[in-house]
Amino acid sequence: MAIFAETITVEALESDPYPIYQRLREETPVAFVPAINSWLATRWEDVNIVSNNPAIFSAEDDDAPVVRHFGSPAIIHTDGAVHKELRKGLAAHYMPAKVASYIEELARPIAKQHIERFRHAGQAELMSEFFEPVSVLCLAKTFGLGEIGSDVLMDWFHGLAMGAINFGRDPERTKICDDTKAQIEAVLDPILTRLETEADNSPLSHLLRHSMPEGQVRSRDFILPSVYVTLLGGMQEPGHGAANTLFGLLQNPAQLATLRDDPKSWITRAVQEGVRWIAPIGTQGRSPVEDFEVGGIVVPKGASISSVLASANRDPAVFDHADEFDMSRKPSTIASFGFGPHFCAGKWFANAQMEIMLDVLFEMLDDIRLVPSSQPEFFGWEFRAPTSFKVTFAAK
């Protein structure tokens, strides 16, 4: 009889990983999956061991799709001093107090403008008309990219994602990612040329020159892999997290009504529950520096292991009725933003943005309903969100 993990395919994971994670948690919580050439750690306890022990589980992994496609050093696959250097450049603009100083002025008008465009149409496809464009514009405007249209930015993250999810080494996905990187570099070239001589306050500028001797900047080869990581996660995930949350709310009308009656009390809890229930980023990739036993299994030195955050979030040992969306569950730590030194540097920015997107949506539209003949279809295990999200509504 085939061992379950050996029968898992990339297609099955991308279609719906949750039944797979459930079986793995119950039968083989740390298992090697040949289709992705990686081990999966699926229980909360083991996810914490893998993600929280950088001395054993290194983030460096030349085999990881992000490293193969974006190059090295890519922030999420670095350790120690190089990691600190990259993180310091990126993180300052996304720390809680800093975010609080600009997020309302930044995100609310962008969200309102996008809803205004379809407010009187009675229907919309929320991924392409709302969640994704708002999310990409918020990141682009804070990151130092200037004025680039949302369609271009959305193409960028969709194209970069093809590389980051390419566990199966599909040449078509590689080509899409390479073409996207070439387009991004063409746009970034004049921006970086300017920033190399004239500093500004953007993360891109900080990444080039923080802690460098006066007059010196980091090389483009050094910063670009981490720029791709940030463009991908930073542009894609808040839109996807907000969409996952809305889907949970629309399937639970009583919770939606409670939220609409008192958004101030519920919006934060709803968003945290939305990204717990369907984690927009599924894993943290690691590699043990020595043979190491976790979950009763020895993972060999140098192997790739994915610490599956999405599965930890559904572990019944930690969350009651874990497969259900329930915004009234007692607030507790969730795995969605990762653990350890690489936990999400954009967590506060993302949370504030998701809350504003949904707040504006409920403020401007009434009676939002899924279209029965066209239910949202979800895709992905490394990144998971609806591919389309059609709703009807009434303008308020």
Residues that bind ligand HEM (CB under 6 A): 75-76, 87, 90, 94, 139, 230, 233-234, 237-238, 241, 275, 280-281, 284-285, 309, 336-338, 342, 344-346, 349-350
Listed in sequence order, the residues at least 6 apart from 121 whose beta carbon sits closer than 8 Å to its beta carbon are: none
Nearer to ligand HEM, 223 or 393 (CB): 223
b/e 100-127 (16+ beta carbons within 10 angstroms → b): eeebeebbbebbbebbeebbeeeebbbb
Nearer to ligand HEM, 143 or 266 (CB): 143
Nearer to ligand HEM, 345 or 391 (CB): 345
Nearer to ligand HEM, 14 or 61 (CB): 61
Q: How far is the CB of 229 from ligand HEM (least distance, A)?
A: 6
Which of 352, 317, 323, 350 minimizes the C-alpha distance to 336?
Answer: 350
The residue with its CB nearest to ligand HEM is: 346
Determine the longest span between alpha carbons in the chain, in angstroms.
65
Q: How far is the CB of 234 from ligand HEM (least distance, A)?
A: 3
Nearer to ligand HEM, 202 or 230 (CB): 230
Nearer to ligand HEM, 241 or 248 (CB): 241
Cis peptide before 376 (omega within 30 of 0): no
Nearer to ligand HEM, 180 or 202 (CB): 202
Listed in sequence order, the residues at least 6 apart from 250 whose beta carbon sits closer than 8 Å to its beta carbon are: 256, 368, 369, 370, 391
Q: How far is the CB of 27 from ligand HEM (least distance, A)?
A: 25
Q: How far is the CB of 123 from ligand HEM (least distance, A)?
A: 26
Which of 233, 267, 264 minimizes the C-alpha distance to 138?
Answer: 233
Q: How far is the CB of 91 from ligand HEM (least distance, A)?
A: 7
Question: If residue 151 lies in a helix (H) or strand (E), which one and from where to where?
Answer: helix 150-164
| Token pair recorded at residue 87 | 């993180």
Which of 126, 64, 185, 201 minimizes the C-alpha distance to 375?
Answer: 126
| Token pair recorded at residue 337 | 């933003």
Q: How far is the CB of 395 from ligand HEM (least distance, A)?
A: 28
d(CA 36, CA 39): 8
Q: How far is the CB of 287 from ligand HEM (least distance, A)?
A: 12
CA dihedral 94, 100, 105, 107 (to 10 degrees): 50
